[in-house]
Amino acid sequence: MDTTLRELLDSIDPTGELWKCHQCGQCSFICPSYRNGGIRTREVMELTLIGAIDPADDDSIWQCTMCNSCTERCQMGVDPATVINALRNLAASKGNVPDHFLQEAKLFKTTGLSFPITGLTKKMRKEMELEDLEITDSAKDDLEKLIGATRLGDLDLE
Ligand code: SF4
Ligand code: SF4
């Protein structure tokens, strides 16, 4: 098994709980992404456990919506959502991040928002008598702390 992948498994699962996975497929059954042709959760679990997944070259992990349904459904107490999240972190450290995620990260880093404020957004906020969205200085400070804590700044966003 790739040593980096092994280290990843050890870090998120020091007591070996993941090996309780008996490949029942309930996590795939409940998964909204799988039902729409996206991530194959059971298969990701299998490939991860046997060390046959390469996060640097796997697109399916980015099709997870992080809804946590798989973890809630698993009767063995296995936590596929955490595994997928860890695989994504490993993928990101190897430069495998879809472009739309990078664009969102870039926007978040500069504005604190994951989506652009469009003219329609402004119009609707006005109609709903909401204030204009402005990032305050204290929010900028919080943003810097978040970026540091999540290592978002490590990503090449240029
Ligand atoms: S993670 Fe849980 S629900 Fe998914 S295949 Fe393994 S035992 Fe079944
Ligand atoms: S967290 Fe991801 S893998 Fe799990 S059910 Fe939701 S979309 Fe599927």
> pLDDT tens, position by position, for the chain (158 residues)?
556 888 888 888 989 999 999 999 999 999 999 999 999 999 999 999 999 999 999 999 999 999 999 999 999 999 999 999 999 989 988 889 999 999 988 888 888 888 888 899 899 999 999 988 878 888 888 888 888 888 777 777 76
Could you say which of 73, 93, 113 is where a domain stops? 93
Separation in Å, CA 131 to CA 35, 114, 118, 122, 125: 39, 18, 15, 9, 7
Closest to 22 measured CA to CA, from 62, 71, 69, 74? 74
Q: What is the extent of the structural domain holding 35? A: 3-93
- Most ligand 1 atoms within 8 A of CB, residue of 19, 22, 30, 46 to mutate: 22
Q: Which ligand is nearest to the CA of 43?
A: 1
Give me the number of domains the chain comprises: 2
Residues 51 and 109 in one domain: no
pTM as predicted: 0.83
Residues 54 and 86 in one domain: yes
Atom of ligand 2 at shortest range from CA of 33:
7
